[in-house]
Structure 1
């Protein structure tokens, strides 16, 4: 869902005020620093990013589609150039696969070395496909292993974009992650001014992702 950043920032300030009680914030009254509200606004995108990277897949929304820039070899192995705002894979499936991939490995994963094998019983295959997110000369790509041949097409490809405040002041955040993002932004803002309440807010944020 898309929410107005100013509205979200107000919710963060309410969460801080409710948990702060009568204790003054360390930085209040310091005219040489940014106001707390300005700090909160600056932390919103980071908070959403952290929360949506940590959240279980079941808490995420349907995401954005990708899959236009696809390259596939005769051996059925291929890759797709990922959008510039790609942050996290939600789902990926090729037309001849028996199952959908919901989580990609990295090139540092021990399983990644197996994908260069010419034997489809060792590398990913239509019965047990594997996806890896790596950096290549073309940029960040999703490699997929593998299809029966090079005639397969993408049937499902969705991702979570890097959160940003858009030109209209809106920010995209999964509805189920919204409250966790509120408390995470509070934690980040309080940490930046050295307030120990930031630890409590972080714990609340993490608990809302369970």
Structure 2
């Protein structure tokens, strides 16, 4: 009789400890808040819509086209809500431009060229984050991007293939960037980032018409 009582007590205590442990683990995993990480590294893919800005040159027109960027990201925390954000990206910007034909003697003759400019870029920005609650936090960031030309090609209206622009495309690209979005907590060591950004180039992209190139990007990334 005494042995049965001891066995029942042991089973009751074991069951209680099991339930308590499961609840503790569940509360820890599904907690509404998370401890921030001092350093986070990730990968990104960012489709963009780019165009040329010709300023006051009214005879040049630009048509936006799709491009993309991919590469590495890194966030370094000052505090829980303030971060230094950087990375290394390969960014491809596509544009289409129409302007007067400089080689034609016919009045109002125009040409249309497609441009593909590719840069290796390093973004440098201040990133402000809200506290992570219920699996998400909101962020905004502002900073600069500096890039070096990797490749520059154009396709003329009458051509069947792209040709190198050579020195007609500038080597350096500098721009201001502003953006924001949401970071989603997938687990304790993985965060998914979704957001939008506007990148406004302020250095010349090409000699013809002396345009600056800008783009709007959808930013998708995974931090580990």
Q: TM exceeds 0.5?
A: no
Q: Quick one: higher RCO (CA 8 Å, sep 6+), 1 or 2? A: 1
Q: Considering fraction of residues, name the structure with more helix.
A: 1
Q: Considering fraction of residues, name the structure with more strand.
A: 2
TM-score normalized with structure 2 length: 0.28
TM-score normalized with structure 1 length: 0.29
